[in-house]
Amino acid sequence: MKLTNRSKVVVNKEMTLAEKLYLPAILSGMGITIKHFFKKKPTIQYPEQKRDFSFIYRGKHVLKRDEEGRENCTACGLCAVSCPAEAISIVAGERKPGEEKLYREEKYAKSYEINMLRCIFCGLCEEACPKDAIYLTEELAPANYDRSNFIYGKDKLVQPLGTSAHPKTYKPYKK
């Protein structure tokens, strides 16, 4: 039964002398290779050279601090609930007297982990957060040989002290 008109009849025709010599085919192949020598290369020397990402690129997460350096996250769990990949797990803790400079509210994330092997960088955790605590930055989540290194804890996620409050960058504060 014929479904389309795209079928081709294969003919085992005799090869011409030029085809038997293979030379024209080799020369045409070399011509294509030489042409590519003079074209702009699509590849770059990563990691020495890096490409600019789109402004909507979503990379590694950051758990933000407020202007006074306190952690914004209150361990409400909305990011974990909204995560379609079930990549986030949180253990809540209660702020003790004397810890007011570390955590903004009475509850904080004692442990906050993202499984970067599960994460699909959809940004839903960022949208769900009512405390401006989690953002996806322009940073790449680096490759690794060990699966356990892809569980990012607070040591990798919390914004370093003294860095910008702008959600998309880690650049130091501009005066």
Q: Which residues bind ligand SF4 (CB under 6 A)?
A: 73-79, 83-85, 87-88, 90, 109, 114, 119-125, 128-129, 131, 133-134
Minimum CB–partner distance for residue 115 and ligand SF4 (Å):
8
SS3 content of the chain, % helix, strand, coil (to 5): 20, 15, 60
Dig out the tokens for 69 from the structure. Answer: 């350096």
Nearer to ligand SF4 by Cβ, of 76 and 159: the residue is: 76
Minimum CB–partner distance for residue 66 and ligand SF4 (Å):
12
Rounded to 5 degrees, φ, ψ at 130 are: -85, -5
Minimum CB–partner distance for residue 173 and ligand SF4 (Å):
22
Minimum CB–partner distance for residue 67 and ligand SF4 (Å):
17
Work out the number of other CB atoms within 10 angstroms of the CB of residue 6: 6
Minimum CB–partner distance for residue 105 and ligand SF4 (Å):
9
Nearer to ligand SF4 by Cβ, of 93 and 169: the residue is: 93
Nearer to ligand SF4 by Cβ, of 92 and 164: the residue is: 92
76 alpha carbon, distance to own chain's centre: 25
Asked if 118 and 108 touch (Cβ cutoff 8 Å), the reply is: no
Cα dihedral 44→45→48→49 (10° resolution)? -10
Rounded to 5 degrees, φ, ψ at 84 are: -70, -20
Nearer to ligand SF4 by Cβ, of 48 and 67: the residue is: 67
Angle at 69 between CA 64 and CA 75, to 5 degrees: 45
Nearer to ligand SF4 by Cβ, of 26 and 91: the residue is: 91
